[in-house]
Structure 1
Amino acid sequence: MAEFTLKYINHRAHYEAAAFIMDCETHYRKQVSMVADEIAANSSQKPIVLLNGPSSSGKTTTNDRLCRALERRGIHAETISMDDYYRTVGTYEVPRDTENDVPDLESPECMNLPLLSQHLARLAAGEEIEVPRFDFETRTFIPDTRALRLDPDEVVLIEGIHAFNPVIMGDLAHAATSVYLSVASTVVPQEGARLEPYMLRFLRRALRDRLFRNSPVAETLGQWKSVRRGERLYIRPFRGQANLTVDTFLPYEICILMQKLSDDLQNQQEALQKADLAPVYAVLGNIEPIEYKNIIPEDSVLHEFIG
Structure 2
Amino acid sequence: MERVITINRTLRGEDDIRAFVSECEQSLEKQMDDAAAYFLASEGNHYVALSGPTCAGKTTTARKLIEDFGASKRTIRRISLDDFFVSRSVLEQRAKEEGGDPDFESVKAIDLEYLRECVDAIQQEKTVLLPVYSFLEGKRTEYIPFEPKTDDIVIFEGIQAIYPEFIELFPKGTLKSIHITVNSDLVYNGIRFDRREIRLMRRLVRDYRFRGASPSLTFTMWKGVVENEDRNILPYEKNADIHIDSLMPYELHLLRDPLTAVLNQLEKDSEYYPQALRLMEKIAPFEPIGEEYLPANSLYHEFLG
Superposition RMSD in Å: 2.5
Runs of at least 5 residues in structure 2 that lack an aligned partner in the other structure: none
Paired residues in the alignment total 298
Task: Quote the Cα distance in structure 2 between the aligned partners of 1:268 and 1:133.
Answer: 37
Q: Does residue 285 in structure 1 map to residue 264 in structure 2?
A: no
Q: Residue type of the partner of 1:218? A: S
* Residues 176 and 27 of structure 1: CA distance in aligned 2, closer, same or farther (over 3 Å): same
Q: CA deviation at 1:167?
A: 2.2
Task: Quote the Cα distance in structure 1 between the aligned partners of 2:136 and 2:74.
Answer: 34
* Residues 254 and 268 of structure 1: CA distance in aligned 2, closer, same or farther (over 3 Å): farther
Runs of at least 5 residues in structure 1 that lack an aligned partner in the other structure: none
Contact map agreement 1:13 1:255 (CA 8 A) in 2 = no
2:233 is paired with a residue whose SS is: helix
Contact map agreement 1:272 1:280 (CA 8 A) in 2 = no
Q: Residue type of the partner of 1:7? A: N
Aligned-residue sequence identity (percent) comes to 26
* Residues 118 and 125 of structure 1: CA distance in aligned 2, closer, same or farther (over 3 Å): same
Q: In the alignment, what sits opposite 2:113? A: 114
* Residues 272 and 23 of structure 1: CA distance in aligned 2, closer, same or farther (over 3 Å): farther
Q: In the alignment, what sits opposite 1:241? A: 239
Task: Quote the Cα distance in structure 2 between the aligned partners of 1:231 and 1:94.
Answer: 21
Q: In the alignment, what sits opposite 1:23? A: 23
Q: TM-score, length-normalised on structure 2?
A: 0.88
Task: Quote the Cα distance in structure 2 between the aligned partners of 1:103 and 1:273.
Answer: 26
Q: In the alignment, what sits opposite 1:147? A: 145
Task: Quote the Cα distance in structure 1 between the aligned partners of 2:94 and 2:33.
Answer: 39
Q: In the alignment, what sits opposite 1:125? A: 124
Q: CA deviation at 1:84?
A: 1.2
Contact map agreement 1:87 1:110 (CA 8 A) in 2 = yes
Q: In the alignment, what sits opposite 2:272? A: 271
2:244 is paired with a residue whose SS is: strand
Q: Does residue 4 in structure 1 map to residue 5 in structure 2?
A: yes
Q: Residue type of the partner of 1:37? A: A
CA deviations on 1:42-99 (whole Å, 9 max, x unpaired) are 342x311001111111111101110111102323211011111112211343448x9x
CA deviations on 1:213-237 (whole Å, 9 max, x unpaired) are 2211211111112100000111112
Q: In the alignment, what sits opposite 1:158? A: 156
Q: Residue type of the partner of 1:3? A: V
* Residues 112 and 22 of structure 1: CA distance in aligned 2, closer, same or farther (over 3 Å): same
Q: Residue type of the partner of 2:39? A: I
Q: CA deviation at 1:257?
A: 2.0
Higher deviation after alignment, 182-191 or 220-229: 182-191
CA deviations on 1:171-211 (whole Å, 9 max, x unpaired) are 4132110111110121214355x111101111111111112
